[in-house]
Amino acid sequence: MSYVAVKGGSAAIRAAHRLVRKRMRGDPDAPEITPRQICEQMHLGVDRVMAEASLYDVDLAARAMLQAQGDMIEAIFLLRAYRATLTRFLDSTPLAMDAMRVQRRISAAFKDLPGGQQLGQTYDYSHRLFGYFDRLETASEVESGKAEVPPEPMTSVMGLLEKEGLMEPAAACEPSAENTQQDITQHPLLFPASRAQRLQSLARGDEGFLLSMAYSTQRGYGQNHPFIAELRMGDVTVEITPPELGFSIGIGTITVTECQMINQFQAKSPEEAAFSRGYGLVFGHSERKAIAMALVDRALRAGELGEESLSPAQDEQFVLSHCDNVEATGFVEHLKLPHYVDFQSEIQTLRHLRKTAAKDGA
């Protein structure tokens, strides 16, 4: 009956936490996983935690996964809570995406293009059979056989379409000078949201939620006729410009995934008809999330582009208010907290109503 003692239950809480600690370790005879192992062998999970916590720290994300016993949202929460304690000293300069050290780059719109299609590490064309990768030569053999190809510059596909006038210009969607200050961690999100605020919200939004929203647009709930112009994953340098220096300096390298989405053209006349764009950018290697983000970004531009907004994915208040899994899990799970007082008032009201009705009926 320890739950009953919520008001004086410190002993119960201690006992509950001891149980967590015990279960977290599991059978002491099984070897313990180290954060390093998580970083090395479960790096896609680490990437997801960093992306949705919006904090790029591989080691802490791995520790969070262990402390959360593999519960990703709990791990994200832990890292997000830590993030809140960090001092913000400067904004970085915009990432130089053209200078990305690309590990993977594909275009679904063009069969070949300058810089080529670079498949990189992907499950895309593997078969989901147990042991499928065991048959392959080991990684070291791949390394030894790898020729260092001098990187050919990878022309931006969107740039090419822009040049021909087939793509709406990037400037149309670029954040204006005033809304670059609209950091959602510093200023609360208000509606209507700017594109900068929307992209920030989506970048830290729950992968599963964005995935389903994006999927709904592909099934007729929202207008979308997407083609991936370019999907890139690789390393970019983060630079800051300290005011006392006046020039930018690199402070580290992060891995990001970027998706540039071409969407169906639409306009009132053939002269104005041009493709529209959607954009996704995520910490780490997460193509699913970057693609979903680009689809949802485009769906949320319905109002701006004069489309009918009839579907959930086109409703910015619906999407942006519910995409954060730390917020969502908090409110959904808070139903476990005691609600004795509110429930008591409800039950009394209902009893009263029924009693009165019975009396009137008699």
CA nearest to 197, candidates 300, 276, 91: 300
Determine, following the binding rule CB under 8 A, whether residue 270 of this chain makes contact with other proteins.
Answer: yes
When the beta carbons of 59 and 152 are compared against other proteins, the nearer one is: 152
Determine, following the binding rule CB under 8 A, whether residue 227 of this chain makes contact with other proteins.
Answer: no
When the beta carbons of 221 and 318 are compared against other proteins, the nearer one is: 221
Residue type at 65? M
Cα separation, 194 vs 269, in Å, equals 27
**How many CA within 13 A on the CB side of residue 115?**
21
From 39-47, 117-125, 292-300, 301-309, span contacting other proteins (CB under 8 A)? 117-125
| From 125, 133, 191, 247, residue interacting with other proteins (rule: CB under 8 A) | 125
Residue 85 tokens read as 């304690």
| From 66, 67, 92, 110, residue interacting with other proteins (rule: CB under 8 A) | 110
Determine, following the binding rule CB under 8 A, whether residue 171 of this chain makes contact with other proteins.
Answer: no
Determine, following the binding rule CB under 8 A, whether residue 164 of this chain makes contact with other proteins.
Answer: yes
Determine, following the binding rule CB under 8 A, whether residue 263 of this chain makes contact with other proteins.
Answer: no
Q: What is the largest CA-CA distance in the chain?
A: 93
Residue type at 232? R
Which stretch of DSSP H or E encloses residue 283?
Answer: strand 274-283
| From 200, 223, 276, 325, residue interacting with other proteins (rule: CB under 8 A) | 223
Cα separation, 209 vs 350, in Å, equals 37
| From 88, 268, 334, 336, residue interacting with other proteins (rule: CB under 8 A) | 268
When the beta carbons of 99 and 332 are compared against other proteins, the nearer one is: 99
Cα separation, 337 vs 341, in Å, equals 11
Residue 243 Cβ, how far from other proteins at the closest point, in Å? 36
Determine, following the binding rule CB under 8 A, whether residue 148 of this chain makes contact with other proteins.
Answer: no
From 6-14, 23-31, 92-100, 159-167, span contacting other proteins (CB under 8 A)? 159-167
| From 9, 82, 221, 307, residue interacting with other proteins (rule: CB under 8 A) | 221
Cα separation, 212 vs 295, in Å, equals 11
The residues in 47-106 that bind other proteins, with binding defined as CB under 8 A, are none
When the beta carbons of 125 and 191 are compared against other proteins, the nearer one is: 125
Helix residue spans in 68-224 (DSSP H): 72-83, 139-145, 157-163, 195-204, 207-218
Residue 316 tokens read as 């910015």
Cα separation, 263 vs 279, in Å, equals 11
The residues in 276-305 that bind other proteins, with binding defined as CB under 8 A, are none
Number of residues that bind other proteins (CB under 8 A): 31
Strand partners, 260: 230, 279
When the beta carbons of 80 and 289 are compared against other proteins, the nearer one is: 289
CA nearest to 236, candidates 250, 249, 223: 250
Within a 10 A sphere around the Cβ of 116, how many other Cβ atoms?
A: 13
Cα separation, 16 vs 11, in Å, equals 9
When the beta carbons of 66 and 160 are compared against other proteins, the nearer one is: 160
Determine, following the binding rule CB under 8 A, whether residue 119 of this chain makes contact with other proteins.
Answer: yes
When the beta carbons of 110 and 318 are compared against other proteins, the nearer one is: 110
Contact positions toward other proteins, by CB under 8 A? Answer: 110-114, 119, 124-131, 153, 155, 157, 160, 163-164, 218-221, 223, 267-270, 273, 311
